[in-house]
Amino acid sequence: MFEHLVFNQIVNSATGRNLDYNIYNFRTRGGLEVDFILQLEGQRTAIECKFSESVSTMDVNTINKIDKYYKKIKKIIIYRGTRELKEDGVWILPLAKAMQTLGL
């Protein structure tokens, strides 16, 4: 359900602002899965949604594997916590701050 909330917020905000966007899921045959790849106004962002109030190092390591498929992609983990963190090049943000960071 949290993924759906994030998806709907992104789509509604981008549509309401008349921004050019594309959003899709990403999964490899090897099992790497990222909830969303968002292309917004030419900028690509990998987005992972976590319905927890904390994010593990394993979550950060998993989203960082997207670099193999997309060079220079921004990475955000959206979670239910309240702190804004950056770990190993990955932003870990509450939903409202993530939307602001995305320009939505």
Q: Where are the beta strands (DSSP E) in 1-104?
A: 21-27, 33-40, 43-50, 74-79, 85-87, 90-94
pTM score > 0.95 for this model? no
DSSP string, 29-45: TT--EEEEEEEETTEEE
- pLDDT block averages, 10 residues each, the chain of length 104: 95 95 95 95 95 95 95 95 95 96 93
pLDDT score for 48 = 97
pLDDT score for 2 = 94
